[in-house]
């Protein structure tokens, strides 16, 4: 093994893992945002029905 | 009377939005496809690294540098043919009136983003290979230069995707730009045949599908190809989920809707 090979593998692994994490967190953030919005809409809908 | 009707309409709208969010959350949630692609990616990656670094033999002339071959051609294949091929096909399917759907525009964008990552890795691993075998990090060889141009073209494509406009205008603009960028892909592919280049021609498999390297090296490289393909598949799935979530998030203008409901008597 030489330093060039180790560097090549490390760069590939870190880049792919980094981008994968980025995708996971972006999706998680959007899903959480929609989940919160859904709960809020459900609460509002319930309040409206109670008001009536 | 008007007030009761307005409240009912508002409640119906709220219910529709709730259903839309529920559907999209279900659609973008965990699935067998994502699990299979994800676990397959990790397993093949671990196996490729283990075989590539520790099991396969050194090359007689190149020594340990040959181990870069288990990374460089697989990422190049995933970028040029898989990712950019998908972007080109999806762009054509958008432009063809009978198959026109925003799904294709989103697929094209998702695949191009992954392709740019893979192509950047192709250039970096290729540069390391060049340093150890040719003695230079970079040379203005036809294959290398055209690959660098390809990277710039697809970065430009991703930048153009961010431009403003109606959905249809944007999708048309994206598709035409993608087709323009795709012209460079076959030029990169044939560059080693059309010009006298430092970069070698295809040398592991002959045109008659005869393996020119030991079986263990051929299998490890094949595993590398499978690995980059599975990773691309998993990334595509998650990246497409993000596109769907973004559309729903902006379409229903959640925050505005919530504020409006809050202000209602």
Instruction: Tell me the pLDDT tens digit for each residue of B150-206.
Output: 999 999 999 999 998 898 999 999 999 999 999 999 999 999 888 888 887 777 777
- Tell whether the model's pLDDT for residue B262 goes beyond 70: no
What is the pLDDT at residue A46? 82
Query: How confident is the model at residue B261, as a pLDDT?
Result: 64
- Contact A28/B at CB under 8 A: no
A16 and B24: CB-CB below 8 Å?
no
Residue B76 has pLDDT above 90, yes or no: yes
Per the prediction, chain B carries an average pLDDT of 89
Pairwise CB contact (< 8 Å): B65 & A38: no
Q: Where are the domains of chain A?
A: 1-52
Nearest to B128 among A8, A35, A40 (CB): A8
Contacts of B72 (CB under 8 A, 6+ apart): A8, B122, B125, B126, B129
Stated pTM of the model: 0.89
pLDDT at B37: 96
Mean pLDDT in residue range B58-75: 89
> What pLDDT score does B254 carry?
56
Mutate to test the interface with B, among A13, A18, A28, A37 (most CBs of B within 10 A): A37
Chain A residues in contact with B235 by the CB 8 A cut-off are 19-20, 23
Rounded average pLDDT over B212-233: 91
Establish if B231 touches chain A: CB-CB under 8 angstroms.
Answer: yes
pLDDT category at B62 given cuts 50, 70, 90 is confident
Is the CB of A52 inside 8 Å of chain B's CB atoms?
Answer: yes
Out of A4, A20, A41, the one facing B14 most closely (by C-beta) is: A41
Residues of chain B contacting residue A5, judged by C-beta atoms under 8 Å apart: 53, 64-65, 67-68
Q: Does B14 sit within 8 Å of A44, measured CB to CB?
A: yes
In order of start, what are the domains of chain B with their CATH numbers? 32-263 (1.20.120)
User: How close, in Å, is residue A50 to chain B by CA atoms?
Assistant: 12
Q: Per residue in B13-26, pLDDT tens?
A: 778 888 889 999 99
Q: How does residue B12 score in pLDDT terms, banded at 50, 70 and 90?
A: confident
Q: What would the mean pLDDT of B30-58 be, rounded to a whole number?
A: 93
B252: left (phi over 0), alpha (psi -120 to 50) or beta: alpha
pLDDT value at residue A11:
96
Q: Mutating which of A11, A13, A41, A43 best tests the B interface, going by the most B Cβ atoms within 10 A?
A: A41
Interval A8-47: pLDDT, tens: 999 999 999 999 999 999 999 999 999 988 888 888 878 8
Task: Give residue B1's pLDDT band: very low, low, confident or very high (50, 70, 90).
Answer: very low
Which residue did the predictor score with more confidence, B45 or B248? B45
- Average pLDDT estimate for B108-114: 96
């Amino acid at each position: 093994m030489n330093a060039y090979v180790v560097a090549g593998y490390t760069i590939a692994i870190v880049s792919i893992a980094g981008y994968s994490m980025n995708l996971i967190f972006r999706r998680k953030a959007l899903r959480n945002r929609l989940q919160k919005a859904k709960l809020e809409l459900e609460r509002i809908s319930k309040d409206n029905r109670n008001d009536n | 009377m008007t007030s009761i009707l307005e409240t009912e309409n508002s409640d119906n709208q709220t219910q529709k939005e709730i259903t839309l969010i529920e559907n999209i959350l279900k659609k973008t949630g965990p699935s067998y496809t994502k699990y299979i692609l994800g676990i397959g990616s990790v397993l093949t990656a671990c196996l490729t690294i283990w075989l590539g670094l520790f099991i396969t033999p050194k090359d007689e002339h190149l020594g340990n540098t040959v181990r870069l071959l288990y990374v460089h051609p697989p990422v190049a294949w995933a970028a040029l043919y898989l990712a950019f091929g998908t972007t080109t096909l999806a762009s054509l399917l958008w432009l063809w009136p009978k198959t026109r759907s925003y799904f294709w525009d989103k697929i094209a964008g998702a695949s191009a983003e992954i392709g740019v990552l893979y192509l950047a890795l192709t250039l970096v691993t290729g540069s390391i290979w060049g340093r150890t075998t040719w003695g230079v990090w970079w040379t203005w060889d036809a294959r290398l230069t055209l690959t660098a141009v390809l990277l710039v073209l697809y970065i430009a494509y991703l930048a153009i995707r961010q431009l403003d406009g109606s959905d249809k205008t944007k999708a048309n603009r994206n598709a035409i730009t993608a087709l323009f960028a795709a012209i460079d892909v076959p030029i990169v592919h044939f560059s080693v045949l059309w010009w006298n280049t430092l970069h070698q021609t295809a040398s592991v498999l002959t045109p008659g599908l005869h393996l020119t390297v030991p079986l263990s090296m051929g299998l490890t490289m094949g595993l590398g190809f499978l690995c980059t393909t599975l990773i691309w598949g998993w990334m595509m799935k998650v990246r497409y989920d993000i596109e769907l979530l973004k559309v729903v998030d902006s379409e229903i203008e959640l925050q505005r809707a919530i504020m409006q409901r809050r202000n209602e008597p």
